[in-house]
A and B are shown apart, each in its own frame.
Chain A
Amino acid sequence: MTMSRPRKVFFRRRKVCKFCADKIDYIDYKDVKLLQQFIPERSKILPRRISGTCATHQRPLQQAIKRARHLALIPFTTD
């Protein structure tokens, strides 16, 4: 019955927000090790659709990265 219409089934690993999973509520701009996970090679902020971070946590994450950049803890860009 269900085969009457070809159904596309995608198997993709379910992405989980790291901050929800690890119960990190306050994202510290001084925690370089943590922030580094969200800045790939080009030092851009990793988008939500890639990292799976929820909106509630992406917002403070973005803020923290920008603060860390200002203090030269993480780079704006890599050349």
Chain B
Amino acid sequence: MRTYELVFIVDPRVSDEDVVTLIQEYKQMISAGGSEISLEENWGRRKLAYPIDKLTEGKYVLLGVTSQDGKTSLAEVEHRMRQNDKILRYLTVRTDEDLKRAARRKPAGSGGPESGIGSGTGSGSGAGAAEAPDDDDVEIGDQP
């Protein structure tokens, strides 16, 4: 099973209804390609971190796609987005591998990091010598 996330930014001048029909269109394409829509988020109007095509805002849409057999029509969807100049940006990310890796790390790394921190703070026994390093630093600092 493969999961994907598809984010795209629509021109803010496009009306909300048109954005919805656009989403519908892409969703249809995705389900026609044999995968399911697992997630749909419309973030709405958002300020862009930098201007794209002289626009400072964009409408963000996030779609989650799940494919059982690994076959998707996402390449086709991307192709369509590229041709549509109402779409400022799009990004498709495959997420199942990273999420699986993260899930595997979770049970294993439960006690490890904490013990490491504990040993680090234990070395503070030489607090009396705290003055010395300051002098050393001065010596090390570039003085002609």
Contact = CB atoms under 8 A, between A and B. Distances in A.
Interface of A: 8-11, 14, 16-17, 20-21, 23, 25-26, 29-30, 60, 67, 69-76
A20 B117 CA distance: 11
Majority secondary structure, B binding face:
helix
A72 B50 contact: yes
A9 B132 contact: yes
Looking at B89, B103, B113, the one whose CB has the most chain A CB atoms below 10 A away is: B113
Majority secondary structure, A binding face:
loop
B109 A20 contact: yes
Given A11-B130, A14-B121, A60-B98, A75 B49 contact: yes
B144 interface: no
Interface string B112-135: 010001001100001001101100
B50 A75 contact: yes
Interface residues of B, number: 31
Interface in B93-119: 93, 98-99, 101-103, 105-106, 109, 113, 117
Contact of B93 (A14, A17, A25, A67): A67
A16 B49 CA distance: 29
Given A67-B91, A67-B93, A73 B49 contact: yes
A74 B113 CA distance: 30
Contact of B9 (A16, A17, A23, A71): A71
Contacts of A72: 9, 48-50, 52, 58, 88-89
Contacts of A60: 98
Nearest to A25: B102
Nearest to A10: B133
A8 B49 contact: no
